[in-house]
Amino acid sequence: MNELDQYKIAEEPFYQPQEDEIEMYTAAYMNRMPVMLKGPTGCGKSRFVEYMAYKLDKPLITVACNEDMSASDLVGRFLLDKEGTIWQDGPLAMAARYGGICYLDEVVEARQDTTVVIHPLTDYRRTLPLDKKGELIEAHPDFQLVISYNPGYQNLMKDLKQSTKQRFCGFNFHYPDEKTEAHIIAKESGVNKETAIKLVQVAQRARNLVGHGLDEGISTRLCVYAGQLIADKVNQKSACKIAMVNPITDDLDIVDTLNAAIDTFFE
């Protein structure tokens, strides 16, 4: 049994292409280029990576980055067990050693020393030094590194350095057009097309407020949540409020504005 067999995706995830991203990602993988996905929260970045890993029949190790994550969390560390000290590979080392796709989700949330660790894997060297172990991993031919982040949340204190960005080819993700997004919501949640369109229209009202009281609008993911509740016979307006409005803002004026939009589309 391969070390990464448990990370294979068994069933094909649903993904609705928007442009030529499938063909472009496939070409990037065939050339083992590291990939950077940029776009707002809940617009399909993670689903896209899952879909591509399935289509390429490659294991996918996903790491949800956070501010407490260190380089050791990625590459590995020595642990104590009943027989003494043993080395345990981290997710990045495991993917590089055995040949999988390692996906660092929201990579800018991690500590800065974490991004430095990935540099040797993203150029001609394709190596990962394990300094604590005194080992240099030569990346498996099937290894690929994918990172994602949300440019809308970045600032001068929390962003990728240009020296890191320019090691990747970049894919820009955005919310789909109304027809495509409604199709995704209907497919994922089970609501009819008419209801899905109304959910998109409410979401678009929120997205128009970005920069005017909202940091970010209602995502496709939240629309799907609302659709799932509605498909489960929850009151439409209530479903929209708890799944689409309450998660994105505590500002009472904006809450009132979005609730009024819900009342407009769901009479």
Identity of the amino acid at 166: Q
Torsion of CA 30, 36, 42, 46, to 10 degrees: 40
Do residues 168 and 184 both lie within one domain?
A: no
The C-alpha atoms of residue 200 and residue 88 are separated, in whole angstroms, by: 45
Read off the pLDDT of residues 193-237 as tens digits, 9 standing for 90 and up.
999 999 999 999 999 999 888 888 999 999 999 999 999 999 999
Do residues 196 and 145 both lie within one domain?
A: no
Do residues 31 and 124 both lie within one domain?
A: yes
Do residues 146 and 32 both lie within one domain?
A: yes
Strands (E), the chain: 35-38, 60-64, 76-81, 84-89, 101-105, 127-130, 135-138, 144-149, 169-172
Classify 43 as helix, strand or coil: coil
Do residues 119 and 69 both lie within one domain?
A: yes
Do residues 146 and 260 both lie within one domain?
A: no
pLDDT of the residue at 111: 83
* CATH number of the domain encompassing residue 139: 3.40.50.300
Number of structural domains, the chain? Answer: 2
- Provide the token pair at 121: 């894997």
Classify 229 as helix, strand or coil: helix
Instruction: Among 135, 155, 172, identify where a domain stops.
Output: 172
Do residues 99 and 231 both lie within one domain?
A: no
Instruction: Among 146, 172, 198, identify where a domain stops.
Output: 172
DSSP 11: S
Instruction: Among 133, 149, 172, identify where a domain stops.
Output: 172
Do residues 194 and 63 both lie within one domain?
A: no
Residues of the chain with pLDDT under 50: 156
Residue 253: domain span: 178-265
